[in-house]
Amino acid sequence: MDLEACTTAFLSARRQKWSQRTLTAYEKDLACLLDYLKTHGVTEPQEVTVKRLRGFLAGEMTRGVSKASVARRLSCYRSFFDYLEQHELVSANVARALALPKKDKTIPKYFYHEEVSTLLNHMDGDSFADVRDRALLEFIYATGVRVSECVALDVGDISLDEQLALVFGKGAKERYVIVGSAACDALRRYLQLRSRVAQTNALFVNARGGRLTDRSVRRILDKRIAQVPGLRKLSPHGLRHTFATHLLDGGADLRSVQELLGHASLSSTQIYTHTSRERLTRVYQDSHPRSERPRGE
């Protein structure tokens, strides 16, 4: 069985276990590797060596592929060669001999309090789009949900009386998130208009009544940011970062923020402590009369 046939068999075996998004990502990662191997005359799984695989990944980083992407690809290849080893198509998993590259630590981008308030308050129209967009962005900021979690919500998943929403997160894990009063008010107003166009159980719908997609949410946020003069661009995931940062700035403990975000590991949440320290440093330098940076600089 050559590498192409092995790839097809591997993905087919995982089709029932993985999401379509994961399958698509693995398919692309394996296609990149197979293209590289073909150019070097490698078509059989037992011909793949540690040196050849290392050369491919090093070349990817030279071309500007991020460490995070290379780490994701290597994880894919480890799973692939595990499968081949289990089916005795290779004698050893060559991908296990390579270490995952350390990811660069980046500070999440987020809005300051004044910026997010300006954005949300700018959407004060009475049209369906204005009311829906206000409710959508208020909800994401109030709950910190991922965009994929947000667009998957149905009307029955939310209780405005209890100010709670049941979210289905990564790995099919359920969690309750708290919906603030401002978001509840925006949602009540939106639901009155939604009933006139809805053709599905989806909570957030377009003007034709269909469920919003991840891409739709990005377009909505881009459009609304562009309508506010001087407002910095931010991705929908940046609203999730904003939610976490503002909670920590307000005194919330890291464990609570972890639970609200649906992070499996506390290490995923700890990145926001860097954001809070950055803010505190800026406040100190702007405010203390004997700080290194003059006030107003």
> Is 240 in the active site?
yes
Amino acid identity, position 27: E
What does residue 232 show for φ and ψ, rounded to 5 degrees? -70, 150
**283 has a pLDDT exceeding 90:** no
Q: Are the C-beta atoms of residues 29 and 73 closer than 8 Å to each other?
A: yes
**From the candidates 87, 96, 263, 274, which is the catalytic residue?**
263
**From the candidates 224, 240, 241, 246, which is the catalytic residue?**
240
What confidence score (pLDDT) does residue 285 get? 73
> Is 263 in the active site?
yes
Average pLDDT over the chain reads: 89
**168 has a pLDDT exceeding 80:** yes
**From the candidates 54, 109, 237, 279, which is the catalytic residue?**
237
Q: Give alpha helix (H) positions in the chain.
A: 3-14, 20-39, 50-62, 67-86, 113-122, 128-143, 147-151, 181-197, 214-226, 236-249, 254-261, 266-269, 271-287
> Is 190 in the active site?
no
> Is 237 in the active site?
yes
User: In terms of Cα–Cα distance, which of 53, 67, 33, 35 is closest to 97?
Assistant: 53
**From the candidates 146, 194, 224, 246, which is the catalytic residue?**
146
What confidence score (pLDDT) does residue 197 get? 87
Nearby residues of 46 by Cβ (< 8 Å), 6 or more positions away: 89, 90, 91
Question: pTM of the full predicted structure?
Answer: 0.64
- Which strands, in side-by-side order, build the sheet including 158-159? 158-159, 164-168, 174-178
